A and B are shown apart, each in its own frame.
Chain A
């Protein structure tokens, strides 16, 4: 994702392993790997917002909800092909992301975080308000359900396309503008960068990514969209994923996605903890630990390793 030479070797290696995995893993493990792919898309998008444009969001679970409901409702009402619903989720969330990005022009830091937090809290309430269309707490069931392998393929194909798209965006004019805005808004304005355009654009792009992740998320829930799936916790998990990932590295984002996608599953089997709350304790401790050891995320660790190798 760097603006200079992309680490082609890494990309080929990752792609190779990803293509091979479904033939090697059991169906259950394929579903876990698909889950990682879904988080990969969401964390990748959030990384553009937090990492590159320097804005924070603890509300991206809301965009996942919107993407997810888009898929479920289009499938329920119009039997739409699931791939098409993903494109719709992308488009709808892009537009909504731009709109939500508007307050970002006036707020920053903790205040912006609060605005996005409100989004995370309020969006899952909408289905209760318009329960005939949005299914209420009972949820919306898609017409089509798909296999674990299908979701795996869809999730990682989407990951690849969206990774390429992110690379194209970030290596060019927009990427430079994002970073300039992040480093100093005043300096960026002085250099002729239209703040409002690039700040909202970053929101739109990352929301669109979250929308695609949400669409996949619902497909992975047997095509069932329901408010509790998209609680505030989901938004926090995405942010944790982005923090673990660090800035701008494919490996970092893979690590962040694997962290939030797999750790809750892995930590249930830690023998010390048991079913009651143990999982949350392990997850919390790991977050603290990772943040202590890797303040710049996994990408920071890689950068340090590289420096060591060179020296």
Chain B
């Protein structure tokens, strides 16, 4: 017993000394975190596993694009190193991951992290420590509305945070306009996800409808993870309320179930509008395979797709970069029109662009300044004619969308129509 205790004591001493050594090693660095002569280190958190892992092509595309930039000399002679951690879309994992990125890996910025809840769980910390939390992969309106006020009770302004894509309420406002134009007397039924995401959309739709908001005959909330029967039950309720226009603000799984219920179970054929998040062609094909009828569904887009604009400069570049990775799964996704990949390229392009404008020796502050004054007409991955732009009065990098309509059934595709529209505030 006594001997054993002595041994343990010795072990503890060794541990303590090791820990002390590790502590001092971590503390010895200077200058802007993550920036050295030859390299700039950034990081992000993504759902490589778990229920949202369908989005993992986004960070993979970002890595591929940074690889391409690095192969062409990097930015101001610095290669970009992107440390991507798996948080499985779980804030309890995002927080230690982000602490690791900031305190252990000393990243320059957290770039492109995916998801609203993971973003919310870390924005107070990142803003407090003045670490850029930029180009978040979520369209909630928080990421632009909270620069000058805290938006939560911590009292910390979120001026180090930005999103990238058009925000959800703005998108919903455009659907409102479209409905009033196409069907002035429309009776609107809305299926929305019962959380901040779905409610953001619903609020936007009501704002867009203005005095016509009473034309919403029913709005049915479903919970993330509900079974197909439950979701289809909500769709049935909308039909029963006499709706002739069906608006879906959902995430992909539920959107597929709703579309299946609408056409295959209820044989209902209203004017159907599907939000952008669920309208990736790859997702659409899977809804079709499950038996949903897809023709004439209306949605919006802001990025290019290999199947819609295959001959554009951006898609040719994307194709070449993806081919150079030798990742055949990625190539197949890209060929099938997975625009999440293109999304990843677009975000990576914007990051590199802002970094180029942040000066020869970028600091976190100079990078944020560059990003907040970004005027990017040349992003080859966003839809032709759209710009990625920020200014004093504009806190959302992308505020444009174009309508699209599906044709060709289960093997069909989106076709854009009309002009590029402003979804801004």
Contacts and interface: CB of A to CB of B under 8 A. Distances in A.
Residue from B22, B26, B92, B99 having most chain A Cβ neighbours under 10 A? B92
Contact of B117 (A7, A138, A234, A310): A138
Given A17-B12, A28-B100, A28-B103, A226 B91 contact: yes
A10 B4 CA distance: 10
Interface string B1-42: 101110011001001100110110011000000000000000
A306 B154 CA distance: 51
Contact size range, B: 35 or more
B286 interface: no
Contacts of B3: 309
Interface stretch (B121-129, B157-165, B260-268, B269-277): B121-129
Interface string B80-109: 000011100111100110011011100000
B194 interface: yes
A280 interface: yes
Contacts of B23: 24-26, 29
B49 A280 contact: yes
A148 B91 CA distance: 16
B48 interface: yes
B116 interface: yes
B196 interface: yes
B91 A26 contact: no
B166 to A, nearest CB: 20
A21 interface: yes
A128 B223 contact: yes
Contact of A309 (B1, B16, B27, B125): B1
Given A26-B22, A275-B48, A275-B86, A265 B122 contact: no
B425 interface: no
Contact size range, A: 35 or more
A226 B5 contact: no
Contacts of B19: 21, 24-25, 29
Contacts of B102: 28
Nearest to A278: B86
A143 interface: yes
Nearest to A234: B92
Contacts, number: 143
A276 B56 CA distance: 10
B90 A228 contact: yes
Given A136-B195, A141-B153, A268-B86, A222 B125 contact: yes
B323 interface: no
Interface string A2-34: 000001011001000100110011111101100
Contacts of B5: 7, 9-10, 13
A204 interface: no
B365 interface: no
Given A138-B116, A265-B96, A231 B90 contact: yes
A224 B116 contact: no
Contacts of A81: none
A76 interface: yes
Interface in A252-289: 265, 268, 275-277, 279-280
B153 A25 contact: no
A279 B4 CA distance: 34
A-B interface, 8 closest residue pairs, ranked by CB to CB distance from nearest: A28-B103, A137-B195, A138-B196, A229-B92, A26-B26, A143-B153, A224-B121, A24-B20
15 contacts: A13-B9, A20-B16, A21-B19, A24-B19, A125-B223, A131-B194, A137-B117, A137-B195, A139-B91, A141-B152, A145-B124, A220-B95, A229-B90, A275-B48, A275-B85
Interface of B: 1, 3-5, 8-9, 12, 15-16, 19-20, 22-23, 26-27, 48-49, 56, 84-86, 89-92, 95-96, 99-100, 102-104, 116-117, 120-122, 124-125, 128, 152-154, 194-197, 223-224
Interface of A: 7, 9-10, 13, 17, 20-21, 24-29, 31-32, 35, 76, 125, 128, 131, 136-139, 141-145, 148, 217, 220-224, 226, 228-231, 234, 251, 265, 268, 275-277, 279-280, 305-306, 309-310
